[in-house]
Amino acid sequence: MTQPIDDLLSIRDLLRYAASQFAGSDLFYGHGTDNVWDEAVQLVMRSLNLPLDNNTVFLDARLVRDERELILNRIQRRIESRVPLAYLLGEAWFMGLPFKVDERVLVPRSPLAELLESGLQPWLGEQPVGRILDLCTGSGCIGIAAATVFDNAEVDLADISPDALEVASDNIALHGLEDRVRTVCADVFEGIEGRYDVILSNPPYVDAEDLADMPEEFRHEPALGLAAGEDGLEIAHRILAGAAAHLTPDGLLIVEVGNSWPALEAAYPDLPFVWLEFERGGEGVFLLSARDLAQRARVSI
């Protein structure tokens, strides 16, 4: 791909060029945007540290050579190496909040953001939330977003990957939440102590067939955060086995299992899964109460 740097002087020029290049390439969108134009806008504007909204005043601004070189290099890498845009920028957005990301963690994209925006209503009701666990946290986006909604809650961000926990720690600091959000190294519930009012999880849930068929962009994400065995349920089984012992009596378990939801429902015909619906898209997120889980597991809560 040629880089006509001397012909592209303004932000408007680079937006048009990026959109044209993306439209002519075999890219997958799904790591923060879902179309050519939004991908181009996010790449160009955020490479310049400019806002994604209310930015028309900048469109005819002329860029210095270093800025143009940076943007053209990122366009080239996006197309030729199929690197997800979030990794090129070093940032992603979740529930309207910025998060640092790199190839140690998955790019945030869970529909749980929409659920958190509603304060977990109507499912939570009037129950107070004192402790939250974000299991398989990755970048920490779900737990940190929850901490901004439930501003009196203590939040644990748990993951088996020390690399992921380093990124999560950076994001705790980014949002100034060190006083009540912490990281915990844990293999699902191994390493977790105490009980929580809410357990949230976006664990690995990609089955072997889907993993093999994924677009090239997903090869840049850590396999540890995606793969979950032949049927995609390895981690979900462990979460369901251990959750009752870590929930308060009125606690809630909310887990995303994506396309693996039919297999999970078939594996647990006695569990009254509530499958949540989202206005902005997304599927395969279930909710269970502590009492439903305890009854099946025959444990006290």
pLDDT tens-digit series, residues 291-300: 999 876 555 4
Asked whether the predicted pLDDT for residue 286 surpasses 90, the reply is yes
Between 255 and 55, where is the model more confident? 255
pLDDT of residue 297: 58
Check residue 254 and give its pLDDT. Answer: 98
pLDDT of residue 214: 87
Q: Does 280 have pLDDT greater than 90? A: no
Does pLDDT of 125 surpass 80? yes
Cβ partners under 8 Å of residue 160, min gap 6: 136, 185, 186, 187, 188, 224
**List of residues 6+ apart from 208 with CB closer than 8 A:** 227, 229, 230, 232
Angle between the N-to-C axes of helices 141-149 and 162-174, in degrees from 0 to 180, rounded to the nearest 10: 30
Give the pLDDT confidence of 36-47 residue by residue, as tens digits. 999 999 999 999
Q: 172-181, 243-252, 278-287 — which is least confidently predicted?
A: 278-287
pLDDT of res. 298: 52
Give the pLDDT of residue 240. 97
Q: Which of 53-57, 201-205, 241-245 has the highest mean pLDDT?
A: 241-245
Kindly indicate the confidence band of residue 223, based on its pLDDT and cuts at 50, 70 and 90. confident
pLDDT at 284: 92
d(CA 68, CA 168): 31
DSSP string, 162-209: HHHHHHHHHHHHHTT-TTTEEEEE-BTTBT--S-EEEEEE----B-HH
Q: What is the pLDDT of the chain when averaged over all its residues?
A: 92
Domains of the chain: 5-89 (no CATH), 100-297 (3.40.50.150)
Tens digits of residue pLDDT in 79-114: 999 999 999 999 999 999 999 999 999 999 999 999
Tell me the whole-structure pTM to 2 decimals. Answer: 0.92
Q: How far is CA 1 from the centre of its chain?
A: 31
Angle at alpha carbon of residue 256, lines to 255 and 261, rounded to 5°: 105
Per the CB < 8 A criterion, the answer to whether 253 and 293 are in contact is yes
pLDDT at 205: 77
